[in-house]
Amino acid sequence: MTVPQTIYEPPPVAWGLGRIRVGDDVVPWAVSQADVDDEAAALVPVLVRLGIDDTSGVDSSAPGNEDEVRPLLLIVSMLSETLHSYPFETAAGTLGALYSSADSSRFDSFRSAALIGYLHPQVVWGVNSAVVEGLTEEFGRDLAEVFGAVTGSVVTTDEGAFAALTAAGIRPWRSRAVGPTTMFEDAPGSGRLTYDPARWAVEVDAAGADASGVGPLLLTNVAARLTPSTRLDSGLRGHVPEPGTILLAR
């Protein structure tokens, strides 16, 4: 009898356990490798729109390409937000881009400023109110000077950061964590988040809507996900004029 020398184990069902906002609560949320890969695939065209050029076909070791500069994405987030942030790393790699990271916290905001100043990234994603307050109140930095070194787009994740950067003369984009996915504006400052209707369905909870039709936004997965979202309360309010578009409440 021959005993196999290699023992194979099936891959784990869950890639990881993150957390998401459901209404006013933060709850644990399991995702699979397939979930992460699909989120990354959806982010690739978003990063291109934000200013990350596709250099995946460039061989930097080939003669004449030694000085080829790879585009850079700076990801500003916390470890607890890995469920949302990690797909950005994969998407950047798909495009042949580099990425770096800093914490989206008040006291680590100096790192975001330093990396922007040293690396001049094409895109910065994840700037929140804590980062803005840290830069201005803790470290006395000028927002226009810090973020003016970004060669492409700056993406904010809450309204406080968006307002502060706009006041500083930066033209930021909005993004929001909507359940386990991330949605972006279709243009800087438009207030219109877009999503893929083949992956997600969003509806307004009629029970909480006002006379104009603005109400709590509920998320349901259309594409398969390890943990289903069924009319999940995103914690956001807005209006859905058509599948694929959300108008955020101001």
- The average confidence (pLDDT) of the chain is 93
Q: What is the pLDDT of residue 36?
A: 97
166 has a pLDDT exceeding 70: yes
CA distance 139 to 80: 25
DSSP state string for 60-88: TTSTT-TTPPPPEEEEE--GGGHHHHHHH
CA distance 174 to 128: 10
The torsion angles phi and psi of 58, rounded to 5 degrees, stand at -95, 125
The CB density around residue 40, as the number of other CB atoms within 10 Å, is 19
Residues 54-78 have pLDDT tens digits of 887 555 555 555 556 789 999 999 9
Q: How far is CA 186 from CA 25, 127, 169, 182, in A?
A: 28, 18, 20, 13
Residues 8-60 have pLDDT tens digits of 677 778 999 999 999 999 999 999 999 999 999 999 999 999 999 988 755 55
What is the residue type of 177?
A
Q: For the chain, what are the domain ranges?
A: 16-54+70-192
Q: What is the pLDDT of residue 231?
A: 98
Instruction: State what percent of residues in the chain have pLDDT above 90.
Output: 87
Strands (E), 16-122: 16-22, 25-31, 72-76, 98-102
Contacts (Cβ under 8 Å, ≥6 apart) of 239: 204, 212, 213, 214, 215, 246, 247, 249
| Beta carbons of 193 and 183 less than 8 angstroms apart | yes
Choosing among 2.40.110.10, 3.40.50.2300, 3.30.465.10, 3.30.505.10, the CATH entry for 16-54+70-192 is: 3.40.50.2300
